[in-house]
Structure 1
Amino acid sequence: MADIRDELQIRPVTTDYLEQFNDLLSYVFQVTAKEVEESGYEEGELELDKRPVLEKADVIGWFHDDELVSSLAIYPCRVNIHGVPYKMAGLTGVGTYPEYSGHGLMHDLITRGLQKMRDNRQWISYLYPYSIPFYRKKGWEIISDHLTFELKDTQLPKQVNMPGHVERLEIDDEDVINTYNRFAAQTHGAMLRNQLNWDEYWRWENEEERIAGVWYDENDVPQGYVLYWIANEVFHIKEMIYITQEARKALWNFVAAHFSMVERVRGNIYKDEPLHFLIDDGDIKQTIKPYFMARIVDVFEFLRQYPFEEGGKPFHFVVHDPMASWNDGVFGVQWVENGELEISHDPLGPAVELDIQTLTTMLMSYRRPSYLRKIERIKADSKAIRNLETIIPMEEPYFSDYF
């Protein structure tokens, strides 16, 4: 019996296949016409809106004759990793029609995609997982959390006297964009958003219902914002960011000023920073779930840019990678003249053995080396672990985007 793969070929997905690309994703992810309509799109607009994806992203797929049957898309992104801007490959649009599943099509697309990312000098990749086990097998690991919370109106923080003022603005106002850019530039894990990233951020939201409350300090400099909407006596917070703690307090003053208008406040936090510790009445409803996953695309190049803390001793990683052969091996880390970091393939100092998933979540500071060793995700002696604890920055990732 002939292998169905003999009838298929991999090639780039161009804008000529926009409708097929949209149909594939809508089928695989079960996006209904009602959901599209509720997001503020009119008939035909979603297909047009996906055009920039095919124009600006690297999209590859399997074709049966001229029919697209499997695809993945790689968005050009940038993220802040402990203060260093990295080019990041945003992996999305991953899907295969069920009648073509079980033939290794996606395995081959991801292998091809990783090579494309490497060619593009995108040393790390993020994705939103529809199946955590599937992506773990491909080398991705959890690196961020999504917390949701709900407060009663009586649990809102008490108003405190703060200088400055809040203005209600359009969500694409220049001060909103610039405030986010300043926040992201000092926040580990955050997307350094371009226009495509902002478009994706709002793709499944009805922008017309959203408002930005921007807080300006006494010097009239914006220091934070809350993106929100009000419906059925509920104040919904899509995202609240603040560059200073004064901004945090002032934005909660603004939310609390709606006391007479709402019964509850529901919102999102994209970092493991429980709200209950920051308000007087901490007996609130909170949930936490994994959010985004990441994987290092090229270990050697990622390490060359990584901002290890000073004072480290030479050591080497022994990395196992099921999908990228160039990552499978030894990576020596040492500091030479003037404290300059040097990466090699030499087995310097003690060994730290781990897979690509564990290396990623550890260097992203989602989980610490000592914990990963405790749960047997790392093989290393105590001296090597203490060294890693010293040189890997502590700040956990913040990531609020979606694509």
Structure 2
Amino acid sequence: MSRRKLQNRLKLKKVEPVHGEQFNDLLRYVFQVTNSDLQTFGWENREIEKSKLPVLKHADVLGWFDGDKLISQLAVYPFQVNMFGRIYEMGGLTGVGTYPEYANMGLMNKLMLQALSHMRERKQSISYLYPYSIPYYRRKGWEIISNKISYEVRDTQLPKPKAVPGNVERVAIDHPHIRHIYERFALHNHGAMLRNDLAWEEYLRWDLDEMIAAIYYDGRDQPTGYLLYWVAEEVFHVKEMVHIDEEARIGLWNFISAHFSMITKVKGDIYKNEPLAFLLEDGDITETIAPYYMARIVDLPLFIEQYPFRPPGEDRKLVWKVDDPLLDWNQGTFVLTVNAAGEGKLVKGNQAASAVTTDIQTLTTMLMGYKRPSYLARIGRIQAEEEAIDLLEQLIRREKPYFSDYF
């Protein structure tokens, strides 16, 4: 059969719970998840299908069908993120995959365009994803916005215990204080996910049964930090350490150091621009940095309307020429006006010789604070007069995104 005839019989439609087994089979094939992998994590096929039902019920899942067979798909989760203290609706893109015999037919491009259109309708002005191919998603308008620093600390390098007024208690993994602490933390960390039930389920989905939770309670018995971890083969694995203040951070590291006789090293990840080495007396530890999540602005005018610029003290104006590889509503020339209080407005504007010229990828990483305007101009990702770059430096807050979730 010719590819043209094959394409003509394919249909794009919503993936429903009744397609759960096919949804799961396509994910397993594309991401090469074997039965052995599933057994390692204690999952059976039935359990995986059941675990994905909330996704198919609550997410926007789209797919191409060849007759009754699901052959290409993606899912968009309804999430929220903290953007410099403002809460944004975010579309979390995941479950992206196409069977190889249907590749190079433009199916995923059309799925993404449909998904982004749905995000715009739902006022999800930004989208996050974990990239299995950074170049591929860059071509679709996403850009890197966060890092992951992986560390390894030998037992002899563990910090010496310091006196703190509180104490650590080991608790059940679903203890309500864990969610309470994380919510407080997320509301004070730019870029962070505000985890709803679906987000928590995704975050903990593939964890081993041996996962343990520990909470730090301060001198007033208030929960101010927690640790999710497991110990295996003399290695203390930190999945997540969240602390509201420095006292809780010290208290949690005291708890880790108390395992000195049981372990040879501690391994974990940090999702902020704060290398661990500086905080340790023996800072000669192994740390590796890698790009983590990507994001793209879905609806540029709405994103700007919500965005908290640094108050310039007087009304300021810029002209942007923006290129978007997928979305025509983000494409063209815009006039950005920021009032004295830092409130922005973006409208389609005229051509201007002094415009800031860039693409949606670069605009996303700049407005999220991952890379500064002056740096992006220096490497050629922004073309603008020096005066315009200086103004952007004044308007955009200096805080890099934190994002520790995975979906």
The TM-score with structure 2 as length reference comes to 0.96
Q: Does 1:344 align with 2:384?
A: no
Paired with 2:16 and 2:44, the residues of 1 have a C-alpha distance of: 23
Matching residue within 346, 368, 386 for 2:372: 368
Question: For structure 2, which runs of at least 5 residues remain unmatched after alignment?
Answer: none
Identity of aligned residues (%): 54
What is the root-mean-square deviation of aligned Cα atoms in Å? 1.4
Residue of structure 1 in register with 2:310 after alignment: 309
Paired with 2:340 and 2:353, the residues of 1 have a C-alpha distance of: 18
Residue of structure 2 in register with 1:49 after alignment: 51
Residue of structure 2 in register with 1:219 after alignment: 220
Rate the CA distance shift 1:256–1:351 in 2: closer, same or farther, 3 A.
Answer: same
Residue of structure 2 in register with 1:117 after alignment: 119
Q: CA deviation at 1:356?
A: 0.4
Paired with 1:242 and 1:291, the residues of 2 have a C-alpha distance of: 21
Matching residue within 298, 321, 325 for 2:324: 321
Task: Give the aligned residue type for 1:50.
Answer: K
Paired with 1:17 and 1:264, the residues of 2 have a C-alpha distance of: 44
Paired with 1:245 and 1:268, the residues of 2 have a C-alpha distance of: 18
Paired with 2:353 and 2:159, the residues of 1 have a C-alpha distance of: 52
Task: Give the aligned residue type for 1:341.
Answer: G
Residues 126-163 of structure 1, C-alpha deviation per residue, up to 9 Å, x if partnerless?
00011111100000000111111111111011211111
Paired with 2:346 and 2:363, the residues of 1 have a C-alpha distance of: 15
Residues 306-351 of structure 1, C-alpha deviation per residue, up to 9 Å, x if partnerless?
0100117311221100100000012222234766433322358952
Residue of structure 2 in register with 1:399 after alignment: 403
Residue of structure 1 in register with 2:273 after alignment: 272
Residues 366-388 of structure 1, C-alpha deviation per residue, up to 9 Å, x if partnerless?
11111101110000111111111
Task: Give the aligned residue type for 2:107.
Answer: L
Rate the CA distance shift 1:2–1:169 in 2: closer, same or farther, 3 A.
Answer: closer
Paired with 1:240 and 1:352, the residues of 2 have a C-alpha distance of: 40
Paired with 2:191 and 2:353, the residues of 1 have a C-alpha distance of: 29
Paired with 1:335 and 1:102, the residues of 2 have a C-alpha distance of: 43
Residue of structure 2 in register with 1:334 after alignment: 337
Rate the CA distance shift 1:154–1:350 in 2: closer, same or farther, 3 A.
Answer: same
Is contact 2:152-2:265 (8 Å) kept?
yes
Paired with 1:158 and 1:46, the residues of 2 have a C-alpha distance of: 43
Paired with 1:23 and 1:352, the residues of 2 have a C-alpha distance of: 46
Residue of structure 2 in register with 1:105 after alignment: 107
Residues 220-269 of structure 1, C-alpha deviation per residue, up to 9 Å, x if partnerless?
11111111111111111001111111211111111111111111111111
Rate the CA distance shift 1:145–1:338 in 2: closer, same or farther, 3 A.
Answer: closer
Rate the CA distance shift 1:143–1:337 in 2: closer, same or farther, 3 A.
Answer: closer
Q: Does 1:377 align with 2:390?
A: no
SS at match of 2:316: coil
Is contact 1:316-1:349 (8 Å) kept?
no
Aligned residues: 402
Paired with 2:202 and 2:339, the residues of 1 have a C-alpha distance of: 43
Counting only pairs closer than 5 Å after superposition, residues 190-209 of structure 1 correspond to structure 2 as: 190-206=192-208, 208-209=209-210
Q: Does 1:229 align with 2:230?
A: yes
Residue of structure 2 in register with 1:255 after alignment: 256
Paired with 1:45 and 1:20, the residues of 2 have a C-alpha distance of: 15
Task: Give the aligned residue type for 1:155.
Answer: Q
Rate the CA distance shift 1:338–1:193 in 2: closer, same or farther, 3 A.
Answer: closer
Paired with 2:130 and 2:280, the residues of 1 have a C-alpha distance of: 30
Paired with 2:251 and 2:148, the residues of 1 have a C-alpha distance of: 23
Is contact 2:164-2:251 (8 Å) kept?
yes
Paired with 1:43 and 1:192, the residues of 2 have a C-alpha distance of: 30
Paired with 1:42 and 1:111, the residues of 2 have a C-alpha distance of: 34
- Higher mean alpha-carbon deviation, 367-376 vs 263-272, is at 263-272
Paired with 2:345 and 2:363, the residues of 1 have a C-alpha distance of: 18
Counting only pairs closer than 5 Å after superposition, residues 175-194 of structure 1 correspond to structure 2 as: 175-194=177-196
Q: Does 1:174 align with 2:181?
A: no
